[in-house]
Amino acid sequence: MKILANDGISDSGVEELKKSGFEIITTNVAQEQLENYINTNNVVGLLVRSATTVRKDLIDKCPSLRLIGRGGVGMDNIDVDYAKSKGLAVINTPAASSHSVAELVFSHLFSCVRFLHDSNRNMPLEGDSNFKKLKKNYSKGTELKGKTLGIIGFGRIGQETAKIALGIGMNVIYYDKFIESVKIELDFIMDKKISFELKTSKLDNLLTDSDFITLHVPAQKNYVIGKSEFEKMRNGVGIINAARGGVIDESELLKYLDNNKVSFAALDTFENEPTPSLKILMNPKISLTPHIGAATSEAQDRIGIELAHQISSILSNA
């Protein structure tokens, strides 16, 4: 049986699939050519990440498909309910990339509170001629320890983010519509462990009480953070979005960066991917990455292996 990993899969995932007797194809097929390729090659499983979409028309026109897999968490690029109604298995890897996304959040946080995102732009340009000026500009950083991190969305990624925050001495509050309380366990070296009991806060309280806010929610029809939410935040707040584009109103974000209500933003996802707004890209108060939350070697290995195990379990026993 043939599996098309259209947006790629790790070597470890390929090997696991081969061990189970599958033929794995890693050719990247253009979206408009997918239907023909799948039907011509009798592909039974289609694996995607964020680049490829799997909508109703493709599902209807590819009768050989029995499984659709998403390497990652969010499945907004797949018509999941429709695929299931047609008898297709739909799988993802919700746990595999959680830690890598959480580490990216803190890469941005550490960078922004010490202005590294801006200093890395300006040092190559002015470091030899305006060293003292730059030193003065970047000498008012803050520490994360003792500050409050507000986490909106407290699933696997939100909880992994909380672990890092707690581990460096931050206070953590969270808001989640569905998770009332959570026991967070931190694992250290030499088998040392410590647990924290956290309970959900009201969203308004999180907005007013947080020094930094990070979002870990699925794609939404409406903004999670818009004008009214920005107004409730404390002055100088920092905001991170490594979830989905469209959960923050970027036009409003720019306004609140301009008036210094928001001291910085860090964005890994954007309203207009893959062509983010130039105003967002050029703003010196925004730390930018091109949707790489799950893009670590370790995460991709976990994703590939987890997909392979699920595919083997579903298709080998069908």
Decide if 257 contacts 265 (C-beta within 8 A).
Answer: yes
* Contact present, 216 and 154 (Cβ < 8 Å): yes
How far apart, in whole angstroms, are the C-alpha atoms of residue 45 and residue 318? 13
Catalytically active residues, by annotation: 244, 273, 291
Torsion of CA 114, 117, 119, 122, to 10 degrees: -170
Question: Which residues, in sequence order, are CB contacts of 184 under 8 Å at separation 6+?
Answer: 159, 162, 163, 166, 195, 196, 197, 198
Residue 138 CB neighbours (<10 A):
15
Question: Pick from 188, 140, 185: which is nearest to 163 by CA?
Answer: 185
State the virtual CA torsion across 198, 102, 11, 19 in degrees, nearest 10.
10
Cα 1 to Cα 312: distance, rounded to the nearest angstrom: 11
Triad 135, 138, 140: Cα angle to 5°: 120
